[in-house]
């Protein structure tokens, strides 16, 4: 069976049939709990009304057979109509989709909601997740803005027991991290504070990479306890570069699971989706990809790394200036989603957060 290469376009008639099939399949998913695949007769009637003659049921059937060979649609069972594959959705998003625009009324409502929270940073991300979830009836996830790289502001070493200490690290974006270390020999608080003061002066504003590089220069002169502290600092800063679960806000999961798409779903599928979304296991996997690219990213079905999301789609965008304070705005829903509207809303909220960061931090 052949597969369409990403750079090869279909004929105009095939594109018209594929677009009509996907748009009707998405609409059917919004109307019915278990929508049926789309038949050639149904498409023929719609396309004839739109474009006139040239889309008889026989013609549409032949073109659908070729679209199936290309891997863009499939027939769930004998005598059924066709439904889009992940590749079909990808082609639709790349070439055929009409991106919708938010109405002026929607824009005014969103802007008014953000005006009410003023400069309360934690409320921005919660409100963004809420707006996304309500507008798309999908699960929305937003990360708090943070530095592109974890940079050390200062740290303290607190004596817990004779040979156990707690390192409390504060990053320049305000994030606080803690880690226990086991010392090579008993140390009192004065000794630990002196060590922290000396290393703070040396490593201020440093990233994990910088700390490791500077530590290499004095490796022979370091005590065992000093090496322990340096390794702990580098480790915590490295972890700070990865979005941890407590940096995420999400909304709309229950609303999404109550939609028709999940009304007849396998309970195991629902449990897996809930687990991966509640624990925020999927966005950390794509964070580096999304943060390194401009614009809205669309990840469809099997393109997702997380197995429970193999029949879901993720629309995600980075907000904030590259290399500065920023985060991610994302929405997760069934592959049968309104891609044009989802992309438009994610893009609008991304720009809104960009403006808020610029006004507040000058970033």
Cα angle value 205/206/210 (rounded, 5°): 160
Yes or no: say if 44 and 13 are a contact pair by the CB < 8 Å rule. no
CATH of domain 12-96: 1.10.10.10
In whole angstroms, give the CA distance from residue 144 to residue 309.
23
In whole angstroms, give the CA distance from residue 328 to residue 353.
10
User: What pLDDT is stored for residue 5 in this prediction?
Assistant: 63
Phi, psi torsion values for 316, nearest 5 degrees: -140, 150
User: What pLDDT is stored for residue 290 in this prediction?
Assistant: 65
In whole angstroms, give the CA distance from residue 44 to residue 63.
11
Phi, psi torsion values for 135, nearest 5 degrees: -70, -30
Q: Is 146 helix (H, G, I), strand (E, B) or coil?
A: strand
Whether the predicted pLDDT of 324 surpasses 50: yes
Listed in order, the ranges of the chain carrying CATH 3.30.450.40 are: 104-147+244-361
Percent of the chain with pLDDT over 70: 88
CATH of domain 104-147+244-361: 3.30.450.40
Yes or no: say if 327 and 317 are a contact pair by the CB < 8 Å rule. no
How far CA 140 is from CA of 51, 112, 303, 316, 319, in Å, comes to: 38, 20, 19, 10, 15
Whether the predicted pLDDT of 1 surpasses 60: no
pLDDT band at 209, cuts 50/70/90? confident
In whole angstroms, give the CA distance from residue 179 to residue 334.
39
Instruction: List, in sequence order, every beta strand (DSSP E) within the chain.
Output: 73-74, 83-84, 139-143, 152-159, 164-171, 176-182, 248-251, 296-300, 312-320, 326-334
Choose from 17-21, 206-210, 225-229, 263-267 the range with maximum mean pLDDT.
Answer: 17-21
Instruction: Give the tens place of pLDDT for each residue, 97-113.
Output: 987 889 999 999 999 99
Q: Is 8 helix (H, G, I), strand (E, B) or coil?
A: coil
Yes or no: say if 37 and 77 are a contact pair by the CB < 8 Å rule. no
Listed in order, the ranges of the chain carrying CATH 3.30.390.60 are: 152-240
Helix axes 12-31, 40-51, angle to 10 degrees: 120
CATH of domain 152-240: 3.30.390.60
Instruction: Give the tens place of pLDDT for each residue, 136-147.
Output: 989 998 888 876
Tokens of 200: 């703070």
**Average pLDDT value for residue range 70-94:** 92
Residue 293 neighbours by CB under 8 Å, 6+ apart: 318
In whole angstroms, give the CA distance from residue 363 to residue 173.
13
Tokens of 114: 């953000």
DSSP string, 328-339: EEEEEEESSS-H
Percent of the chain with pLDDT over 90: 52
In whole angstroms, give the CA distance from residue 257 to residue 362.
40
**Average pLDDT value for residue range 284-309:** 76
Listed in order, the ranges of the chain carrying CATH 1.10.10.10 are: 12-96
- Residue 310 is classified by DSSP as T
Query: What is the Cα Rg of the chain in Å?
Result: 26
**Average pLDDT value for residue range 172-200:** 91
In whole angstroms, give the CA distance from residue 134 to residue 157.
45
The region that residue 338 occupies, defined by phi over 0 for left and psi between -120 and 50 for alpha, beta otherwise, is: beta
């Amino acid at each position: 069976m052949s597969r369409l290469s990403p750079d090869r376009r279909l004929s105009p008639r095939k594109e018209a049939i594929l677009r009509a099939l996907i748009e009707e399949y998405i609409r059917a998913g919004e109307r019915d709990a278990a929508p049926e695949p789309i038949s050639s007769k149904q498409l023929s009637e719609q396309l004839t009304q739109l474009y006139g003659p040239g889309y008889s049921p026989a013609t549409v059937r032949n073109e659908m057979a070729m679209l199936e060979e290309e891997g863009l649609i499939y027939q769930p069972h004998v005598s059924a109509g066709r439904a889009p594959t992940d590749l079909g959705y990808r082609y639709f998003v790349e070439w055929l989709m009409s991106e919708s625009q938010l109405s002026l009324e929607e824009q005014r409502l969103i802007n008014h909601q953000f005006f009410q929270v003023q400069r309360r940073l934690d409320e921005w991300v919660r409100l963004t997740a809420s707006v996304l979830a309500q507008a798309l009836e999908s699960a929305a996830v937003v990360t708090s803005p943070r530095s592109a790289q974890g940079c050390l502001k200062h740290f303290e070493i607190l004596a817990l027991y004779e040979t156990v200490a707690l390192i409390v690290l504060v990053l320049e974006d305000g994030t606080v991290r803690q880690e226990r270390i086991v010392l090579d020999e008993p140390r009192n608080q004065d000794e630990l504070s002196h060590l922290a003061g000396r290393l703070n002066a040396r490593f201020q504003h440093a990233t994990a990479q910088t700390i490791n590089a500077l530590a290499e220069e004095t490796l022979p002169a370091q005590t065992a306890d000093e090496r322990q502290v340096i390794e702990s600092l580098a480790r915590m800063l490295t972890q700070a570069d990865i979005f941890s679960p407590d940096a995420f806000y999400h909304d709309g999961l229950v609303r999404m699971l109550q939609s028709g798409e999940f009304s007849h779903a396998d309970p195991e599928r629902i449990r897996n989706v809930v687990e991966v979304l509640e624990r925020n296991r999927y966005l950390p996997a794509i964070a580096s990809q999304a943060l390194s690219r401009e614009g809205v990213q669309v990840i469809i079905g099997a393109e997702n790394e997380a197995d429970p999301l193999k029949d879901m789609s993720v629309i995600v965008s980075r907000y904030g200036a590259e290399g500065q304070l920023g985060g991610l705005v994302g929405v997760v829903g069934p592959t049968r989603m309104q891609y044009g509207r989802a992309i438009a809303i994610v893009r609008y909220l991304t720009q809104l957060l960009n403006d808020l960061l610029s006004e507040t931090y000058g970033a």
